[in-house]
């Protein structure tokens, strides 16, 4: 849209909107498109997001590695993904700093950093993570130092996934949404209240994976047994049925009604989801991840869950599947934390950084 159209859209005087547009043009966030044909008077020059000059950077701390990738301001990957092995706190910090030295430059606007587990952005620490199961709180101060003046948006990985969903799929801001990620040994959730993640007293996912049942599982990295993500795993499944060595995803794809061990896993998962829906009463339950991609398993899971819902909720909550490219590139998803901060004022309140001196 033109500067005049922009001023009308955001209810600012044309001169004020023009100054804002000028600052964003100088920063490389916007660019001018071809002038529209004149209808009398000066031709209007449309503004659009510039996908080429500036970018955001995504960093993802995952079990066994730290991944990184540049992403354009239109959410398109820019360059190849980078991964470095990292199995302890020192390696995580070192790998993240190496990524920053390689990929962050004067065209980087923001850095979105996702971690599996709990983080403290104010203290700049990882508090508890499946990526560092035996570590106490890990200071990320060296990472922030390596980032220099660039803002680092430290968040849980499910909040990064939720940012991507809000920006690319989304729902009405008035809707409350639960986004659940279902995988082999990995169950996470993010609750969006009016379009914003539920943050609570500690920044992390809404830990559906650590809802506990009376089940004899291996001990979880959180220190307990019976966690839902330990039940929802190939190891637990094989313990129930030692004659069948196939993994959880393979058996979910086949969805054999006579597979009693798989039914145990499915019913626990359905009960966990039902408890979340009964407690939160979301407008929408979004299922993502490898298990939700198994259509017959997903249908059986939805049926099991609905059987445990309050009757008045069963016909109101919308259950849908979403297939994001999460497994291929978690760093790309982490970058959506920065994009949500740029474009969604209500997401987390982070402001745009000041324009660099060279752009004046």
* Residue 355: per-residue pLDDT: 43
Number of other CB atoms surrounding residue 141 within 10 Å: 12
* Residue 328: per-residue pLDDT: 65
Instruction: Answer whether residue 330 is part of any domain.
Output: no
Residue carrying the six token digits 């690319």: 168
Residues 285, 289, 291, CA angle at the centre, nearest 5°?
Answer: 95
Final residue belonging to a domain, choices 31, 49, 67: 49
Residues 273, 278, 279, CA angle at the centre, nearest 5°?
Answer: 100
Number of other CB atoms surrounding residue 104 within 10 Å: 19
Which range of 31-40, 93-102, 323-332 scores highest in mean pLDDT? It is 93-102
pLDDT higher than threshold 90 for residue 150: yes
Cα 278 vs. chain centroid, distance in angstroms? 24
Instruction: Answer whether residue 162 is part of any domain.
Output: no
Q: Where is average pLDDT lowest: 56-65, 170-179, 280-289, 308-317? A: 170-179
- Residues 194 and 64 both lie in one domain: no
**Secondary structure element (H or E) that encloses residue 6, with its range:** helix 3-9
Residues 6+ apart with CB under 8 A from 39: none
- Residues 7 and 38 both lie in one domain: yes
Residue-number span of the structural domain to which 219 is assigned: 170-321
* Residue 215: per-residue pLDDT: 93
Total domain count for the chain?
A: 3
Instruction: Answer whether residue 202 is part of any domain.
Output: yes
Instruction: Answer whether residue 165 is part of any domain.
Output: no
- Residues 303 and 225 both lie in one domain: yes
Q: Where is average pLDDT lowest: 207-216, 238-247, 288-297, 337-346? A: 337-346
CB 124 within 8 A of CB 139: yes
Instruction: pLDDT band for 350, please (50, 70, 90 cuts).
Output: very low
CATH for 60: 3.30.420.40
Q: CA 27, CA 109: separation in Å to the nearest integer? A: 9
pLDDT higher than threshold 50 for residue 99: yes
DSSP assignment of 33-87 = -PPPPPSSSSPPPPEEE-SSS-EEEEEEEETEEEEEEEEETTS-EEEEEEEEEE-
Instruction: pLDDT band for 35, please (50, 70, 90 cuts).
Output: confident
Instruction: Answer whether residue 223 is part of any domain.
Output: yes
Distances (CA, A) of 175 to 150, 262, 315: 33, 33, 16
Final residue belonging to a domain, choices 131, 157, 183: 157
Mean pLDDT over residues 24-41, rounded? 84
Q: Where is average pLDDT lowest: 95-99, 170-174, 282-286? A: 170-174
Q: CA 7, CA 18: separation in Å to the nearest integer? A: 8
Beta partners for 125? 120, 139
- Residues 138 and 197 both lie in one domain: no
- Residues 31 and 66 both lie in one domain: no
Overall pTM surpassing 0.85 (yes/no): yes
* Residue 360: per-residue pLDDT: 38
As a whole number of Å, the end-to-end CA separation of the chain is 24
CB 3 within 8 A of CB 17: yes
* Residue 171: per-residue pLDDT: 62
* DSSP symbol at 212: B
Q: CA 190, CA 89: separation in Å to the nearest integer? A: 25
pLDDT higher than threshold 70 for residue 178: yes
pLDDT higher than threshold 60 for residue 357: no
Mean pLDDT over residues 88-111, rounded? 96
* Residues listed for the chain: 360
Q: Convert the pLDDT of each residue in 69-85 to its tens digit.
A: 999 999 999 888 899 99
Average pLDDT across the chain, whole number = 90
Q: CA 231, CA 304: separation in Å to the nearest integer? A: 16
Residues 6+ apart with CB under 8 A from 210: 220, 222, 224, 227, 228, 229
Query: What proportion of the chain, given as a percentage, has pLDDT over 90?
Result: 72
């Amino acid at each position: 849209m033109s500067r005049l159209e922009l001023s009308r859209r955001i209810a600012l005087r044309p001169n004020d909107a023009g100054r804002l547009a000028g600052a964003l043009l100088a920063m490389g966030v916007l660019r001018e498109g071809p002038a529209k044909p004149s209808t009398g008077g000066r031709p209007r020059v449309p503004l659009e997001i510039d996908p080429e000059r500036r970018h955001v950077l995504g960093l993802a701390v995952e079990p066994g590695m730290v991944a990184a990738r540049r992403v354009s301001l239109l959410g398109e990957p820019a360059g190849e993904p980078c991964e470095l092995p990292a199995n302890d706190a020192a390696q995580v910090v070192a790998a993240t700093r190496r990524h920053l030295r390689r990929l962050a430059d004067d065209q980087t606007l923001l850095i979105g950093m996702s971690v599996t587990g709990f983080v403290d952005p104010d203290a700049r620490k990882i508090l508890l993570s499946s990526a560092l199961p035996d570590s106490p709180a890990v200071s990320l101060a060296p990472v922030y130092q390596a980032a220099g003046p660039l803002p680092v948006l430290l968040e849980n990985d499910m909040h990064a996934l939720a940012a991507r969903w809000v920006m690319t799929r989304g729902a009405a801001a008035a809707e409350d949404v639960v986004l659940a990620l279902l995988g082999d040994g990995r169950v996470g959730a993010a609750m969006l209240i009016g379009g914003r993640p539920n943050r609570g007293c500690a920044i992390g996912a809404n830990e559906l994976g650590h809802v506990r049942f009376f089940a004899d599982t291996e001990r979880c990295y959180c220190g307990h047994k019976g966690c839902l993500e330990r039940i929802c795993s190939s190891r637990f499944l094989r313990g129930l049925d030692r004659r069948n060595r196939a993994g959880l995803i393979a058996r979910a794809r086949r969805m054999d009604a006579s597979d009693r061990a798989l039914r145990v896993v499915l019913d626990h998962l359905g009960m966990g989801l039902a408890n979340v829906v009964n407690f939160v009463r979301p407008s929408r339950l979004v299922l993502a991840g490898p298990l939700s991609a198994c259509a017959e398993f997903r249908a059986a899971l939805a049926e099991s869950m609905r059987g445990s819902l309050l009757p008045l909720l069963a016909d109101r909550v919308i259950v849908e599947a979403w297939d994001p490219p999460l497994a291929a590139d978690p760093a790309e998803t982490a970058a959506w934390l920065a994009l949500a901060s740029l474009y969604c004022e209500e997401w987390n309140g982070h402001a745009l950084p000041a324009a660099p001196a060279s752009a004046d």
